[in-house]
């Protein structure tokens, strides 16, 4: 693994420059059903049986994805070696396994089961799980059509600018993650409780649906009091905050309604700031919850009276301007506005999420959900050149 050099930085600036020169892409149309160079493949479905002991739930998924998981964990470790002269990895192998026992049930047992099946040390599985809590940037939206149908969709962008592959012009971590994307149908008594698009080896949730009831995605919120502080505090013993991906999992598994989910997502103390994007099953039920670790700054809801038929979140507070070098919000909103409420569908939302730079080189998958039919469709994405690196 090469470390970032002047050359990499030069390439990155060249890309930024080319983004301005080329300007923004026109809103895409006719991209659905997914095909062509930006569609890299379907996501395979697995069933996870919640009636099994937690340590046995992920066996099939891990067996199928083990070599990809080992490659990913090794890549993360190689990158972590660059920090503190490898001391970070010692910490991972020595300290993180002890920490697993302090995690809430069933997550601790599930991680132990994953480590046992994969043969990967428990500390490294824990590191892998922490990684997803902190290194994702995303675009999520909830929209309502004229019939009160609620759609929820997202692009998951992963990699956070680590390991630019000069030869292939891709992000190493992003590419290594793509084969780990799985769809999971979580069942109790042989009946679906919820479904999610997930990474093999990760026990939290970033994208999920309780058919007929609610849809949920999580986006990273960068903040100075952010994830890093919370995670360090947590490693060193102050463990009152909940992991974000555990909370979303708990909501998807056990929430009784949109209102219940909203309350849990707003009131639970967290390890790091986050955005929760929640959709319900009735008109007006869709919101973006902006969280600090302790409290909720804002809940931004659909509102017919204000003509707000969709809410859209990237990684910046909606009442502030996005960072100029990372404005995926304006192009996504431009395309939503062009689509209009009259023509909103899985198909037209896929078009919005296929427009650069909403689609970029970090984009790992696109998920489309429609709560009333219980639909969850996910597609692995690619962004061949010319394409912005984020």
Query: Which residues sit at the interface with ligand NAG, rule CB under 6 A?
Result: 29-30, 41-42, 51, 105-106, 165, 167-168, 189-190, 212-213, 249-250, 253-254, 256-257, 281, 330, 333-334, 337, 343, 347-348, 351
CA dist., res. 248 & res. 271, Å (int): 13
User: Is the Cβ of residue 60 or residue 257 nearer to ligand NAG in the bound state?
Assistant: 257
Q: How far is the CB of 96 from ligand NAG (least distance, A)?
A: 21
Q: How far is the CB of 217 from ligand NAG (least distance, A)?
A: 17
User: Is the Cβ of residue 238 or residue 343 nearer to ligand NAG in the bound state?
Assistant: 343
Hey, which residues does 187 pair with through a beta bridge?
A: 49, 192
138, 287, 335, 383: the active-site residue: 138
Angle between the N-to-C axes of helices 122-134 and 87-94, in degrees from 0 to 180, rounded to the nearest 10: 120
Q: How far is the CB of 51 from ligand NAG (least distance, A)?
A: 6
CA dist., res. 186 & res. 58, Å (int): 11
User: Is the Cβ of residue 290 or residue 348 nearer to ligand NAG in the bound state?
Assistant: 348
Provide the strand spans (E) within 111-190: 136-144, 150-158, 164-165, 170-171, 181-188
Look up 138 and say whether it is catalytic.
yes
356, 388 Cβ separation under 8 angstroms = yes
User: Is the Cβ of residue 178 or residue 291 nearer to ligand NAG in the bound state?
Assistant: 178
- Candidates 264, 269, 282; CA nearest to 214 is 282
CA dist., res. 100 & res. 33, Å (int): 42
Instruction: Provide the 8-state DSSP code for 355.
Output: S
Q: How far is the CB of 370 from ligand NAG (least distance, A)?
A: 12
User: Is the Cβ of residue 92 or residue 344 nearer to ligand NAG in the bound state?
Assistant: 344
380, 182 Cβ separation under 8 angstroms = no
The sign of the torsion formed by the CA atoms of 84, 199, 151, 390 equals positive
Q: How far is the CB of 208 from ligand NAG (least distance, A)?
A: 12
User: Is the Cβ of residue 78 or residue 94 nearer to ligand NAG in the bound state?
Assistant: 78
268, 123 Cβ separation under 8 angstroms = no
137, 303 Cβ separation under 8 angstroms = no
Q: How far is the CB of 44 from ligand NAG (least distance, A)?
A: 10
Q: How far is the CB of 230 from ligand NAG (least distance, A)?
A: 20
Q: How far is the CB of 42 from ligand NAG (least distance, A)?
A: 4
CB burial string 75-96: b at 16+ within 10 A, e below: bbbebbeeeeeeeebebbeeeb
DSSP 45-71: EEEEETTS-GGGTTHHHHHHHHHHHHH
CA dist., res. 184 & res. 48, Å (int): 7
The length of the chain, given as a count of residues: 390
User: Is the Cβ of residue 85 or residue 190 nearer to ligand NAG in the bound state?
Assistant: 190
Q: Mention every residue, 6+ apart, whose C-beta is less than 8 A from residue 363.
A: 155, 156, 157, 174, 381, 383
User: Is the Cβ of residue 92 or residue 339 nearer to ligand NAG in the bound state?
Assistant: 339
Active-site residue numbers? Answer: 138
């Amino acid at each position: 693994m090469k470390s970032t050099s002047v050359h990499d930085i030069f390439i990155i600036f060249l890309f930024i420059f080319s983004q301005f020169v080329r300007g923004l892409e026109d809103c895409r149309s006719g991209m659905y059903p997914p095909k062509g160079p930006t569609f890299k493949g379907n996501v395979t479905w697995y069933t996870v049986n919640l009636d099994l002991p937690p340590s046995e739930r992920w066996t099939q998924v891990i067996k199928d994805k083990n070599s990809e998981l080992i490659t990913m964990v090794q890549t993360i470790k190689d990158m972590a070696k660059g920090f503190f002269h490898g001391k970070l990895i010692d910490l991972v192998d020595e300290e993180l396994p002890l920490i697993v026992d302090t995690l809430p049930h069933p997550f601790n047992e599930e991680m132990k089961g994953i480590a046992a099946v994969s043969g990967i040390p428990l500390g490294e599985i824990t590191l892998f799980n922490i990684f997803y809590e902190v290194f994702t940037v995303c675009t999520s939206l909830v929209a309502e059509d004229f019939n009160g149908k609620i759609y929820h969709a997202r692009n998951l962008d992963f990699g956070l600018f680590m390991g630019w592959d000069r030869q292939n012009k891709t992000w190493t971590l992003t590419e290594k993650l793509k084969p780990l994307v799985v769809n999971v149908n979580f069942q109790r008594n042989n009946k679906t409780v919820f479904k999610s698009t997930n990474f093999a080896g990760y026990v939290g949730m970033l994208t999920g649906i309780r058919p007929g009831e609610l849809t949920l995605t999580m986006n990273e919120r960068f903040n100075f009091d952010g994830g890093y502080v919370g995670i360090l505090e947590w490693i060193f013993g102050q463990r009152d905050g909940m992991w974000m991906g555990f909370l979303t999992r708990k909501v998807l598994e056990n929430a009784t309604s949109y209102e219940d989910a909203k309350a849990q997502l707003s009131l639970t103390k967290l390890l790091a700031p986050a955005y929760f994007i929640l959709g319900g099953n009735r008109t007006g039920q869709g919101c973006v919850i902006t969280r600090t670790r302790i409290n909720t700054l804002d809940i931004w809801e659909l509102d017919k009276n204000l003509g707000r038929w969709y809410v859209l979140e990237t990684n910046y507070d909606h009442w502030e301007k996005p960072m100029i070098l990372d404005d995926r919000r304006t192009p996504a909103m431009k395309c939503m506005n062009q689509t209009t409420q009259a023509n909103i569908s899985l198909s037209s939302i896929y078009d919005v999420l296929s427009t650069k730079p909403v689609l970029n080189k970090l984009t790992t998958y696109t998920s489309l959900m429609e709560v009333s039919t219980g639909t969850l469709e996910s597609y692995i994405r690619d962004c061949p050149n010319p394409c912005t690196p984020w």
